[in-house]
A and B are shown apart, each in its own frame.
Chain A
Amino acid sequence: MNIEAKPIHFLLVEDDAAHADLIMMSLTENKVANTIHHVADGMEAMDYLMKKGSFAQSKRPDLILLDLKLPKLNGHEVLERIKSDDDLHSIPVVVLTTSSHEGDVQLAYHHHVNSFLTKPVDFSQFQKMIRDLGLYWSVWNAPPVHD
């Protein structure tokens, strides 16, 4: 590969600890992301992005991996808040969920999601998807310029 991977920071919003573990393992193994921060619910995600409380020193992510079914504040609500926020809306958001429900896809795009991915049950497909995802966002995709 001639093109060099840029250093990239992911925010993973996932309530299911096992899923989070699997996704992070896959991202690390494939050397997709340099750093990953994991939060378990929508509120926490917003706090992280808004640098609230203990997240005052948090790093602005280059990509948000967002599950939809989240406690407290669900994925759609988190997405809506990010995309309607003047500062946050430029961060690419990829929905990564078990749902393939048409309504969810529609709603997510309505809220200007950058990509919608369904978690494959098959292990190798899961691995491939995470690898491709990382490759795409870290190598091929030009990230937005943030002041």
Chain B
Amino acid sequence: MDVPATQTILRRLDRDSTLPDRAAAFLAGLAVTVMGLLVIAGWLTHNRTLTNLHPSLPPMQFNTALGFICCGIGFICTFKGPKWIIRASGGAALAIGSLTLFEYVTGIDLKIDGLLFDQSPDPNRMAPNTAICFTLIGTTLILISNNHIRRTTFVARAIISSTVIVLSVAALFGYLFHIETAYGWGRFTRMSVHTSTGFLILGSARLFLTIRGSRRQQSIRSMHWVPWIAAFAISVLSLLMWQALQAGHHSLDLPKGKHSTYSILSWVLLIGGLLLGWLFQITLSRAAIARAEVKERKLVEAQLRETIQELEHQKYALDQHSIVAITDPRGVITMVNDQFCEISGYSREELIGRTHRIINSGTHPKEFFVALWKAITSGQTWQGEICNRRKDGSLYWVDTTIVPFKDAEGFTTQYVSIRTDVTKLKKSIEENLATNEELRHKNAEMEQFAYTVSHDLKSPLVTIMGYIGYLKRDIEENRYERTDRFIESISKASEKMRSTIDDLLELSRVGRVAHDPAPYDLNELVAAVINDLKPQIHELGAKVTVASNLPPVHGDRVRIEQVLQNLVANALKYARQDDKKLEIKLSAQPNDDGMVRIEVRDNGPGIPPDFAEKVFGLFERLKSDTEGTGIGLAIVRRIAELHGGHAWVESNSDGGANFIVTLPGLEYNHPSDPSVPLGAQTV
């Protein structure tokens, strides 16, 4: 909803709240206007019933009827109409009332009483109490239009209205109890019954409007004047009645006993009235205070309800996001939310009454928790990451904030802990670190690779160019005795270059998956490799023994064959030069960790411990005169590592070398989500 629309509605509501006031004013105004018109009609048609109601009663004066019409218009316009009409009609009523009073007080006849209509032989002048009432009502109408009204204005209006009411009620009482002095003062004209009724209506309506208006603008607390007005009205009424009775019994020719009764009655009435007024004030004040208190309490309750609801919403939101627990000062859990139960795997019943030791993972040293307790017992909020253990034994990490709460005396009442599950975050950070480390490793390897490649490719080039240079010079000088040797060297160097390039290609292929990892019968793979190497084995007269019942392996078939091929070929390459027959033994057995340990044992020259690591490096050769580029063992290690295994060399008792490679067996528990999938790595 937009702002202007809201304001319109608020204004309408505000106007609606004044509807009863305006309706009351309208009805009261209508009633007295009609009455005034009827009385004027009565005077014009000489209808005594309209002017006097009853022949025995005094009539409503013509001017009085006019005054009522003025007041009536003013009241009607309060409902809806221009303010100037209200003020004008109020002014007219004030003029009629005050001028008449002026006549009474000064004795000067302003000729206003029979100005519009001569009622003679009846006296034309309205009663003095009537004149007072018009003066008062007229004044309130003139003062009607101030937008913001101060409290004193309300009080003044209330006093004026209640005076009008009291005067009219006193007159009505006089008619009711036949006390003429109550409605007729001295020898002046009397206030008629309908005049009294009219003023009662106008006074009541005015008072009603005043109180309602005041309540709209001011708090109940600041309206303590209302009971005082009531007390004032009752007191004035009793004073008027006392005065009427006092005046009445002096004018009456009563027997002696009656006189004293009359007098006592008047005094009883005065004292009773004053007491009643006082009691009224006290009672009303108390009631007002009580009502104000009730209203305030309701307001506070409503605010409290709102606050509670807001807190509930926040708690709900917190419960949706966080793992929340509350413990007593000793650390005993008193409350856990659903998230706590969910992540820990414990039910609420299992957790309440226990300490957090129930989810202690044992990951953190004792000092960690000592520091934590030291912080929170000293009133500090503790923040950090804690590793906890679920009921099923698995671990989870939570980012934790523990807030201690203390009572007025400074004693800790409870600790509230709010946690967020950061297990995934932790894991991804760790994985990132691992990946970074791996990348660093790869970079270093890459550098080494580039260096080696440049050297190993450049080296034969130097040879080739050198010999070609000599050849050219020899040809120029017609020398040919070295030609064959030079050409032989050139072709050897070219051949070396070719095989280096082949090996580099091979190494780059190792990282790629040839076949998806699958279980293979190692016996078959070994047999195939030995078969391929038969010519070399035969040539060297070597003896190759393969153990029976080799356990199955799990991996990429082509790569595993490559490992076996390189290991056996390596043993053959470095075959001993003496007469002793080369023996190669191949065996394999499953390890406890699910890996298969493959061992290729030879009785060759062996590898000095200093070179045990070196031989697995790129382009490393132990002997300068052996064939090959020194890439085979690097490939073996790379394949083993890509399969999650390893490759290394040990010396054996025969003086030869034991090359050992571990590869996954069938029982090997493959990581379900390897951060770097097999084959994704390249050289």
* A binding-site residues for B, Cβ under 8 Å: 15-19, 21-22, 25, 40-41, 69-72, 97-99, 101, 103, 119-124, 126-127
Compute how far the CA of A126 lies from the CA of B462 in the bound complex, rounded to whole angstroms.
Answer: 9
Contact of A18 among B458, B469, B489, B621 (CB under 8 A): B489
* B binding-site residues for A, Cβ under 8 Å: 451, 454-455, 458-459, 461-463, 465-470, 472, 489, 492-493, 611, 620-625
Compute how far the CA of A17 lies from the CA of B489 in the bound complex, rounded to whole angstroms.
Answer: 9
| 25 intermolecular pairs with C-beta atoms under 8 Å apart | A16-B624, A18-B467, A18-B493, A19-B462, A19-B466, A22-B462, A22-B467, A25-B470, A40-B625, A69-B455, A69-B459, A70-B624, A71-B622, A98-B455, A99-B455, A103-B451, A119-B462, A120-B462, A121-B461, A122-B465, A123-B470, A123-B472, A126-B462, A126-B466, A126-B469
Across-interface contacts of B455 in A (CB, < 8 A) = 69, 97-99, 101
- Closest-by-CB residue of B relative to A70 is B624
Across-interface contacts of B472 in A (CB, < 8 A) = 123
Compute how far the CA of A121 lies from the CA of B620 in the bound complex, rounded to whole angstroms.
Answer: 23
With A71-B623, A121-B461, A123-B468 given, can you name 10 additional A-B contacts, CB distance below 8 Å? A17-B624, A17-B625, A19-B459, A40-B625, A97-B455, A98-B458, A99-B454, A103-B451, A119-B462, A126-B462
- Closest-by-CB residue of A relative to B452 is A69
Across-interface contacts of B620 in A (CB, < 8 A) = 71
Compute how far the CA of A25 lies from the CA of B298 in the bound complex, rounded to whole angstroms.
Answer: 114
Nearest 8 CB-CB pairings of A with B: A123-B469, A15-B624, A18-B463, A22-B466, A98-B458, A18-B489, A98-B459, A71-B624
Report which residue of B455, B459, B466, B467 has the largest number of chain A beta carbons within 10 angstroms of its beta carbon: B466
Across-interface contacts of A122 in B (CB, < 8 A) = 465
Compute how far the CA of A71 lies from the CA of B619 in the bound complex, rounded to whole angstroms.
Answer: 10
Q: Let me know if B622 and A72 touch, CB within 8 A.
A: yes
Compute how far the CA of A122 lies from the CA of B620 in the bound complex, rounded to whole angstroms.
Answer: 26
Q: Let me know if B467 and A126 touch, CB within 8 A.
A: no
Q: Let me know if B622 and A22 touch, CB within 8 A.
A: no
Compute how far the CA of A15 lies from the CA of B621 in the bound complex, rounded to whole angstroms.
Answer: 11
Q: Let me know if A124 and B624 touch, CB within 8 A.
A: no
Q: Let me know if A121 and B462 touch, CB within 8 A.
A: yes
Across-interface contacts of B467 in A (CB, < 8 A) = 18, 22
- Closest-by-CB residue of A relative to B457 is A98
Across-interface contacts of B624 in A (CB, < 8 A) = 15-17, 40-41, 70-71
Q: Let me know if A121 and B493 touch, CB within 8 A.
A: no
User: Given A21-B489, A126-B469, are A16 and B463 also a contact pair (CB < 8 Å)?
Assistant: yes
Across-interface contacts of B489 in A (CB, < 8 A) = 18, 21
Q: Let me know if B463 and A19 touch, CB within 8 A.
A: yes
- Closest-by-CB residue of B relative to A127 is B469
Compute how far the CA of A54 lies from the CA of B621 in the bound complex, rounded to whole angstroms.
Answer: 24
Compute how far the CA of A124 lies from the CA of B489 in the bound complex, rounded to whole angstroms.
Answer: 19
Across-interface contacts of B493 in A (CB, < 8 A) = 18
Contact of B465 among A69, A101, A121 (CB under 8 A): A121
Compute how far the CA of A123 lies from the CA of B467 in the bound complex, rounded to whole angstroms.
Answer: 8
User: Given A18-B493, A99-B451, are A71 and B621 also a contact pair (CB < 8 Å)?
Assistant: yes
- Closest-by-CB residue of B relative to A18 is B463
Question: Min CB distance, B631 to chain A, in Å?
Answer: 14
Question: Min CB distance, A72 to chain B, in Å?
Answer: 7
Question: Min CB distance, B495 to chain A, in Å?
Answer: 12
Compute how far the CA of A15 lies from the CA of B463 in the bound complex, rounded to whole angstroms.
Answer: 13
Across-interface contacts of A18 in B (CB, < 8 A) = 463, 466-467, 489, 492-493
- Closest-by-CB residue of B relative to A122 is B465
Q: Let me know if A123 and B622 touch, CB within 8 A.
A: no
Compute how far the CA of A15 lies from the CA of B99 in the bound complex, rounded to whole angstroms.
Answer: 143
Compute how far the CA of A126 lies from the CA of B470 in the bound complex, rounded to whole angstroms.
Answer: 11
- Closest-by-CB residue of A relative to B461 is A121
Across-interface contacts of A15 in B (CB, < 8 A) = 624
- Closest-by-CB residue of B relative to A21 is B489
Question: Min CB distance, B617 to chain A, in Å?
Answer: 11
Across-interface contacts of A103 in B (CB, < 8 A) = 451
